[in-house]
Amino acid sequence: MNLELKAEVLEEFSGNRLDRFLKLSFGDEVSRASIQKWIESGFVRNQDDRIQDKSSIKVKVGDRYSVSVPPRPPLNLEPVPMDLPVILDRENYLILHKPAGIASHSGPGDRSPSLVNGLLFHFKELSKAGGESRPGIVHRLDKPTEGLILIAKNDRAHGKLSELFRKREIQKKYYAWVQGHPPEEEGTIDLPIARHPVERLKMTISPKGRRSITHYKVLKYINSRSGRKFSFVDIGLETGRTHQIRVHFQSQRCPVVGDLLYSRAGAQFESYGLQLLSYFLKFKDPFTGESIEANLPLTERFLRFEKNAPLF
């Protein structure tokens, strides 16, 4: 069965190249290189059912595009035994507890086993829509981030779940320990995020970036015996940009505890890992209409940090 994807050009995307527009529409788990191959192969059509075979086509408001991608060839990746607790198992998808320190999928220069290797060990059915190197992966969590992640068992599920993410119909919540106290006990950070112009592994606040919205509420404050301040924060994402929570809280001078990329003090808390947990997912099952909700309790390393924070 072909993978079917659709996208309509909104005002914020008008003027983009076709390949970039489709990349923005389908999210981080479909590479731009894959999209360009789809276009070159004649898999993309416009609202008039005409094949669009040039990536450089400029899109405009109201244009509609459909992508029909044939099944991919068998994967050739090595299965690796891995502890992947299953939180929810349905016919078309899974919700797993991803450990910290495991990348969602392999990236440039990273040869360590990823979540994909563990998925291939445990599960026979996985979607291939995200690319040969990303079976089952609909969305991602940063490598040091722990928590709930949705896995598609087939391409049909991948398409439907991706659509829920695109329409922002999946509610995601995180817990985080951050350094310092945010400016307000409850608030919203609405700052655009873009790739860092020099440090390509990092993201940064930039007026040229994509709009990014993070809601938060401080649940607990801790002042250590040396005067250091920490805050335990409940976070809701309205958008899902790369490193969004980490960049937004760094912009408030409250980097996430243990963040080696965005905090100068991150290494001091390295034994606790990045204190960021994807603890809540809620969405409507795209096949049955049932309301699906998954929760994770705080794990040992978060509780250990809270116990020791007053001593820093």
In percent, the amount of the chain with pLDDT more than 70 equals: 94
Instruction: Verify that 203 and 113 share a domain, yes or no.
Output: no
Last residue of a domain, one of 149, 167, 185: 167
Instruction: Verify that 188 and 178 share a domain, yes or no.
Output: yes
The confidence score (pLDDT) of residue 29 equals 45
Instruction: Verify that 103 and 48 share a domain, yes or no.
Output: no
CATH number (domain holding residue 153): 3.30.2350.10
Q: What is the pLDDT of residues 97-124, one digit of tens each?
A: 999 988 888 764 456 788 999 999 998 8
Instruction: Verify that 178 and 219 share a domain, yes or no.
Output: yes
The confidence score (pLDDT) of residue 207 equals 95
Instruction: Verify that 129 and 212 share a domain, yes or no.
Output: no
Q: What is the pLDDT of residues 34-64, one digit of tens each?
A: 789 889 989 999 999 999 999 999 999 999 9
Query: Distance of alpha carbon 217 from its chain centroid, rounded?
Result: 21
The confidence score (pLDDT) of residue 27 equals 55
Instruction: Verify that 264 and 207 share a domain, yes or no.
Output: yes
Token pair listed for 218: 């401080």
Separation CA 193–CA 85 (nearest Å): 32
Instruction: Verify that 152 and 285 share a domain, yes or no.
Output: no
The confidence score (pLDDT) of residue 4 equals 78
Instruction: Verify that 101 and 184 share a domain, yes or no.
Output: no
Instruction: Verify that 183 and 295 share a domain, yes or no.
Output: yes
How many degrees, rounded to 5, is the angle at CA 125 between CA 151 and CA 137?
25
Instruction: Verify that 180 and 304 share a domain, yes or no.
Output: yes
Q: Could you list the active site residues?
A: 142
Instruction: Verify that 219 and 299 share a domain, yes or no.
Output: yes
User: Which residue range forms the structural domain that includes residue 226?
Assistant: 169-311
Question: Looking at residues 61-70, what average pLDDT do you find?
Answer: 89
User: How much is the pTM?
Assistant: 0.75
Q: Lowest mean pLDDT: which of 16-25, 102-111, 195-204, 251-260?
A: 102-111
Token pair listed for 54: 């040039």
Last residue of a domain, one of 135, 167, 199: 167
Last residue of a domain, one of 167, 194, 226: 167
Query: Distance of alpha carbon 221 from its chain centroid, rounded?
Result: 28
Q: Which pairing describes strands 276-284 and 146-152: parallel, antiparallel, or unpaired?
A: parallel
| Mean of per-residue pLDDT scores for the chain | 90
Question: Looking at residues 286-307, what average pLDDT do you find?
Answer: 96
Instruction: Verify that 64 and 84 share a domain, yes or no.
Output: no
The total number of structural domains that make up the chain = 3
CATH number (domain holding residue 43): 3.10.290.10
